Amino acid sequence: MEKFAKLIIDGQEIALPVIEGSEGEMAIDIRELRQQSGYITFDPGYGNTGSCRSSITYMDGEKGILRYRGIPIEQLAESSTFVETAFLLITGKLPTREELTRTSVSLNDFSPIHENMKAFYQNYPPKAHPMGILSAMINAMRSFYPELIDREEELNKTYLRIISKIRTMAAMAYKISIGQKVIYPRPDLCYCSNFLNMMFDSVVVRYHIDDELVRALNVFWILHADHEQNCSTTAVRVVGSGKVNIYSTISAGISALWGPLHGGANQAVIHMLERIERDGMSVEKCIARAKDKDDDFRLMGFGHRVYKTYDPRAKIMKDMCDIVLKKVKVKDPLLDIARRLEEAALTDPYFREKHLYPNVDFYSGIVLRAMGIPTKMFTVMFAIGRLPGWIAQWKEYWNDPEMKISRPRQVYTGNTLNEYVPIDQRKEEVSIC
Ligand code: CMC
């Protein structure tokens, strides 16, 4: 039976349909609200706004649940690979062996990038942030690979092309930034091994591909592969809603991810831990500063809009720290600081009351550091991982008959009708500069 929510405004009763999701999530459909009442809803940051129906990722922030296409993140991290998870997210099902092989072959076929694109990298200022470069390069792909045909088969090729080339572009950006010869992708290597090889092999020292580190990278990327309607995915959906091409849409997602409150948090966490170590700041002092409203210091890698308990990705990432550090035989002092910070925050009333727990970024930087990934590449690593999610969400949006161009409303709070005053009649105090 169809359910309705009743809203009474100015004595007028309005019945609004209720939508129920497959996991019992309830929503009030307000699409007709303005037409019926003249009112709009107000929700800065969209914390209570459902922007779409989606069958890709399910999260329960209270219980700490994350599932891709119904499969728990813990199972995927335990048994899947990044390529298989990408297939799952984009197509909606796990691949057969043959489909997986075909996907891997295509990813290898698409991995080289147009030689002319190298010129872009070479002309960037040496200190340019790789996220800015990556966003520009993905946007540039529209010009280098203009053959976007609407047929599904062609679109599938485009998805694979982006997933494959983003990894080559990221490694190439790194090599050029450190003045080393670019290492090209190898057709005999799988997705993650190829990336590590392109990053760390050189003409001087051959890189030894270690299976455990390859596994760790698979897990890292699986954990980042999608997270429903987060900031960058919303950017992808909003930008894509104007029917812009997929390359420009993904480029917008990369830009949105860059910020320290979102994907840039993994880099910000390491900077924070390094600062604590360098300045000899005590854990107590950090916690006190994070709680002080007059201090702009925040505990980076803590808190989440949706999770009000431990982020399930952070649990897996924390365990990975031990595995990877043991493998590379490194003792990272930042891990010790991170652990002590976590312990102090989890028992502190401020963090408990506000339900602030470690998120995926709290331990991910330590894992990446141990693998040899430079700090300024951390958010690029997140972007490579999030790409299948952006593609899946873009595809879902593109095929959704309910979707319209994104165009929220506002509550205007500026001047009411005002008059233009000629410049020689303006009083000094009305200056706007
Ligand atoms: N340290 C100290 N206080 C915090 C923190 C933190 N990390 N996070 C939230 N708070 C406080 C905040 O000051 C606010 O207090 P009050 O209610 O007194 O004003 C309260 O908790 C609610 O925070 P909010 O900023 O209103 O919550 P939000 O849902 O808008 O923001 C967040 C979520 C992730 C942006 C925020 O928790 C934050 O800035 N965390 C640090 C950055 C970070 O780790 N980002 C990565 C998120 S996970 C990766 C991803 O998916 O993007």
Instruction: From 108, 111, 110, 87, select the one nearest 97 (Cα to Cα).
Output: 87
Say if ligand 1 is within 6 A of residue 360 CB.
yes
Amino acid at 258: W
What stretch(es) of the chain map to CATH 2.20.28?
A: 4-60
**Residue of minimum CA distance from atom 32 in ligand 1:** 304
Q: What pLDDT tens digit does each residue of the chain (433 aa) get?
A: 889 999 999 999 999 999 999 999 999 999 999 999 999 999 999 999 999 999 999 999 999 999 999 999 999 999 999 999 999 999 999 999 999 999 999 999 999 888 888 888 888 887 888 999 999 999 999 999 887 666 777 888 999 999 999 999 999 988 888 888 899 999 999 999 999 999 999 988 899 999 999 999 999 999 999 999 999 999 999 999 999 999 999 999 999 999 999 999 999 999 999 999 999 999 999 999 999 999 999 999 999 999 999 999 999 999 999 899 999 988 889 999 999 999 999 999 999 999 999 999 999 999 999 999 999 999 999 999 999 999 999 999 999 999 899 999 999 999 999 999 999 999 877 555 5
Show the beta-strand stretches assigned E in 190-258: none
| pLDDT reported for residue 81 | 98
What is d(CA 351, CA 342) in angstroms, rounded to the nearest whole number?
10
Say if ligand 1 is within 6 A of residue 84 CB.
no
**Residue of minimum CA distance from atom 9 in ligand 1:** 303
For β-strands 71-72 and 65-68, DSSP reports them as antiparallel
Per-residue HEC secondary structure of 412-423 comes to CCCCCCCCCCCH
CB 358 within 8 A of CB 298: no
Question: What is the rounded end-to-end Cα distance, in angstroms, of the chain?
Answer: 59
Structure tokens at 356: 């602030």
What stretch(es) of the chain map to CATH 1.10.230.10?
A: 265-371
Amino acid at 54: S
What is d(CA 128, CA 228) in angstroms, rounded to the nearest whole number?
30
Q: Is 29 part of the annotated catalytic residue set?
A: no
CATH number of the domain located at residue range(s) 4-60 in this protein: 2.20.28
What is d(CA 414, CA 45) in angstroms, rounded to the nearest whole number?
20
CB 366 within 8 A of CB 334: yes
| pLDDT reported for residue 118 | 84
- Report field, pTM of the whole predicted structure over 0.85: yes
- Name the catalytic one among 129, 224, 227, 304: 304
Calculated CA dihedral for residues 327, 170, 245, 226, nearest 10 degrees: 20
Q: Is 361 part of the annotated catalytic residue set?
A: yes
Q: Say which DSSP state 380 is in.
A: H
Per-residue HEC secondary structure of 269-315 comes to HHHHHHHHHHHCCCHHHHHHHHHCCCCCCCCCCECCCCCCCCCHHHH
Choose the residue to mutate in 293, 354, 362, 386 for probing ligand 1, maximizing ligand atoms within 8 Å of C-beta: 354
Torsion sign over Cα 112, 117, 119, 123: negative
C-alpha separations of 56 from 28, 89, 91, 193, 225 in Å: 21, 6, 10, 27, 11
| Spacing, Cα 308 to ligand 1 middle (Å) | 11
User: Helices 211-224 and 82-91, interaxial angle, to 10°?
Assistant: 20
User: Helices 130-144 and 152-177, interaxial angle, to 10°?
Assistant: 140
Choose the residue to mutate in 304, 346, 353, 357 for probing ligand 1, maximizing ligand atoms within 8 Å of C-beta: 304
**Residue of minimum CA distance from atom 5 in ligand 1:** 303
Class at the top of the CATH hierarchy for domain 265-371: mainly alpha
CATH number of the domain located at residue range(s) 65-262 in this protein: 1.10.580.10
The distance between the two most distant Cα atoms of the chain, rounded to a whole number of Å, is 79
Instruction: From 113, 215, 221, select the one nearest 173 (Cα to Cα).
Output: 113
Structure tokens at 230: 């987060």
What is d(CA 400, CA 404) in angstroms, rounded to the nearest whole number?
9
Beta carbons within 8 Å of 15's beta carbon, 6+ residues apart: 4, 5, 6
| pLDDT reported for residue 299 | 95
Choose the residue to mutate in 305, 308, 363 for probing ligand 1, maximizing ligand atoms within 8 Å of C-beta: 305
For β-strands 71-72 and 4-9, DSSP reports them as unpaired
